[in-house]
Chain A
Amino acid sequence: MRRIPWQPYLYLSPVLVLYAIFFVFPLFFSLYISFMEWDLLLDKKQFVGLSNYQEVLSNPLFWKVIRNTLLYMALTVPPSAALGLVYALAIERAGKLRSMYRVLFFVPVVISVSVAGLVFSLMFSPQKGLFNEWLGLFGIGEQAWLQDTKLAMFALAIVGVWMSFGYNVVLYISGLKQLNNEVKEAAAIDGASGWQSFRHMTFPLLMPVHMFVWTITLLHSLQIFATVHIMTLGGPNNSTNVWAFFIWQEAFQFFNTGTASAAATILFVIVLGLTVIQVRWMQKRTQWV
C-alpha cells in the first residue's frame, strides 16, 4: 500500500494560506459587504438585502460605465489582435532584422503604465501635444482629446492598443513558427497562392493562438484602471468612467462600500464565465505538453 505523501501539502501550504487570506476570503467578504449598509467611519453595519444591487442597477451612471467599458473593449481588442497578427506575418518575412523588430515592438509591453499614461497625457495635451501639432500639418484644428467627451475614450484606446499589441505580435510569431513548415509544404504541393494559403491554412490553423490572444486581451482591457486614473479621472463628464474605475471611486472616493461591492460582484460573475472557458482551454493545452 502506498502512503499518502505529505510533502506536497507542506510545499503548497504558504501559497494556499496566502490565497485563502487575500483571495478566497475577500471574494466572500465582498459578497457579504454587498448585502450590507456599512458605515466604515462609525463601523456600523446593517443587513439590507439586495438594496445595494438595486441601487447600482438603477444608477444611470452604472449603465454608462458598462457602455464605456464595452466601448473601450471594442476599440482596443480587435485592433490589438489584428495588429499582432499583421506585424507577426510581416516580421516573419522580414529576413535578417526579424529579431530586432520583435524586440522593439515588445518595448511598450515592459514599460510601466504610469510612464505611458504620463507621456500620452502630454502627447494629447491640447496646445502642447504632439498629436495636435501633427494634425496641424494637415490643416486640422486643435482637438481637446482628453477633455473632449467624444475623443477621450478613443485616446485611451490608442494607449491601450499601443501597450498591448506587442505582446500579441510575439504570441503570433511563435504560433506561426510552429506551423510554418507544414503549411508551406502542403501549400506548395497544392500550388496555392500566398493569400489562398493564408486564408485557408494559416489563419484557421492559428485558432488556438487566436483564442488565447483574444481572451487575454479582452481580460486585460476589462481591467483598465491606471490609464484612466492617470489621464482622465473618468472624465470629462464620466465619458471614460469604466468599471474598475467606478468601483474604485465608489469605494475609495465616496465610501459607498455596499454599492462598490455590489458592482464588483457583478463584474466578478461576468468575468468568471469568461475565465472558466479560458482556464479549461489552457489546461487542455498544457496537458499536451
Chain B
Amino acid sequence: MKLRSRLLLNVFLLLSVLAVLMPFIWMLTVSFSPSADPFKRVALLIPTSFSLEGYKQVLEQAPIARWFMNSVLLTSVLTGGQLILGVLAAYAFARYQFRGREALFFFVLCTMMVPPQAIMLPVYLVVNSFDWVNSYKGVIIPHIASAYAIFVLRQFFMAIPRELEEASRVDGCHSVQTLYHIYLRASGPALFGVGLIQFVNNWNDYYWPFLILSDEMKMTLPVAIVHFRNDSYIEWVPTMAAATLSVLPVIGIYTLAQRYFTESSLQSGIK
C-alpha cells in the first residue's frame, strides 16, 4: 500500500480510537473537576481546573472500600469455583467416552444461550426458598457452573496429545492424578486466560447481584455505584469519581494481560 494512504488510514483509526475512548476521558475530566458547576468549563473535554473534591466526597459519604472488598471477595470465590467445576467437567467431556456425552455437551452450550431474564423470576424464587436472598451465596451459587469455562477448557484439553495421558496411565497415575499432572500443567496459560476473562465478567456483572443484594453494605461495586448515584441525587462529580475507582482494577488487569482478552475471547466461537 502507498505510504500516503496508509498514513490516512492511521489518522482515521486514531480519530476513531479517540472517539471510542471519549466516554472515559469525559469520566476522568468530570471526576477531577470542582463540584460547583463543573460542566461549563470542561464540556469540551478541556479541563480548566483540577480538584479532588469528588473523590473526597465519595470516600467520605460512601463505604467504597467496603464495596471494593465485597467485589474482590465475591468475584474471586465465584471465579475460582467456575474454574474448578469447569476443569472437572471439561476433563470429562474432552477425554472420556461415555453414554450421553454429546447430549450433555449440547445441553451445556444451550445454557449459555438462554437469556438469563427468561428465568430470572424462578431462579430468584429458588434462591429465596434456600433463604439466600441478600447473601453472597445467592449471588455465587446459581452462577458457579459456567458453560463458557467448560467450553473453552474442553477446547484446550482436547488439544493436548493423548500419548501424554496414556504415558501417565502406564506410569500408574489414576484419573485425578492424570488430570493434575498432564492437563492442568499443560494448560496453565489457558486456565489463567479463562480465569482472567471470567474474573472481569464476574466483576462487571450487574443484573444478578442487583437483584439479589439489597443491603447497601453487601453490594458489589457496579451495583453500588448506580445505587450511589440515585442516593446522592445525581451529583455527577462524585458519581464519576466512584465510576473511575470502580473501573481501575479492570483497567489494570486489562492493561497487563490484554493479549488474553483479545485472543481468548475468540476461543468461545471460532478456532
Residues of B within 8 A of A110 (CB): 200, 204, 250, 254, 261
Residues of A within 8 A of B97 (CB): 5
CB pair B121–A257 under 8 Å, yes or no, is yes
CB pair A251–B23 under 8 Å, yes or no, is no
A238 within 8 A of B: no
Give Cα A113 to B105, complex, Å: 30
Complex interface residues of chain B between 213 and 271 (CB less than 8 A to chain A): 221-223, 225-226, 229, 236, 239-240, 243, 246-247, 250, 254, 258, 261-262, 265-266, 269-271
Among residues of B, the one whose C-beta sits closest to the C-beta of A31 is B122
CB pair A285–B270 under 8 Å, yes or no, is yes
Q: Nearest Cβ distance between residue A275 and chain B, in whole angstroms?
A: 4
Stretch from B47-55, B58-66, B110-118, B165-173 contacting the other chain? B110-118
B32 within 8 A of A: no
Given known pairs A94-B9, A112-B206, the reply for A119 and B270 (CB within 8 Å) is no
Among residues of B, the one whose C-beta sits closest to the C-beta of A111 is B247
Among residues of B, the one whose C-beta sits closest to the C-beta of A40 is B125
Chain A contact residues: over half helix, strand or loop, or mixed? helix
Interface 0/1 of A244-259, CB less than 8 Å to B: 1001100110000100
Place the interface of chain B in its size category.
35 or more
Give Cα A4 to B100, complex, Å: 12
Give Cα A19 to B128, complex, Å: 17
CB pair A7–B269 under 8 Å, yes or no, is no
Q: Which of A19, A170, A251 contacts B265 (CB 8 A)?
A: A170
A51 within 8 A of B: no
Give Cα A117 to B230, complex, Å: 13
CB pair A18–B12 under 8 Å, yes or no, is no
Give Cα A162 to B98, complex, Å: 44
Complex interface residues of chain B between 159 and 200 (CB less than 8 A to chain A): 159, 175, 200
Residues of B within 8 A of A260 (CB): 121
B99 within 8 A of A: yes
CB pair B44–A133 under 8 Å, yes or no, is yes
CB pair B126–A248 under 8 Å, yes or no, is no
Stretch from A73-81, A95-103, A139-147 contacting the other chain? A95-103
Stretch from A148-156, A180-188, A195-203, A264-272 contacting the other chain? A264-272
**Interface residues, chain B, CB within 8 Å of chain A?**
1, 6, 9-10, 12-13, 16-17, 20-24, 26-27, 30, 39, 43-45, 85-86, 88-89, 91-93, 96-99, 101, 104-111, 113-126, 141-145, 150, 155, 158-159, 175, 200, 203-207, 210-211, 221-223, 225-226, 229, 236, 239-240, 243, 246-247, 250, 254, 258, 261-262, 265-266, 269-271
**Interface residues, chain A, CB within 8 Å of chain B?**
4-5, 7-9, 11-12, 14-16, 18-19, 21-23, 25-27, 29-30, 33, 87, 90-91, 93-95, 97, 101-120, 122-123, 125, 127-128, 130, 133, 162, 166-167, 170-171, 174-175, 208-209, 212, 216, 219, 222-223, 225-226, 229-230, 243-244, 247-248, 251-252, 257, 260-261, 264-265, 267-268, 271-272, 274-275, 278-279, 282-283, 285-286, 288-289
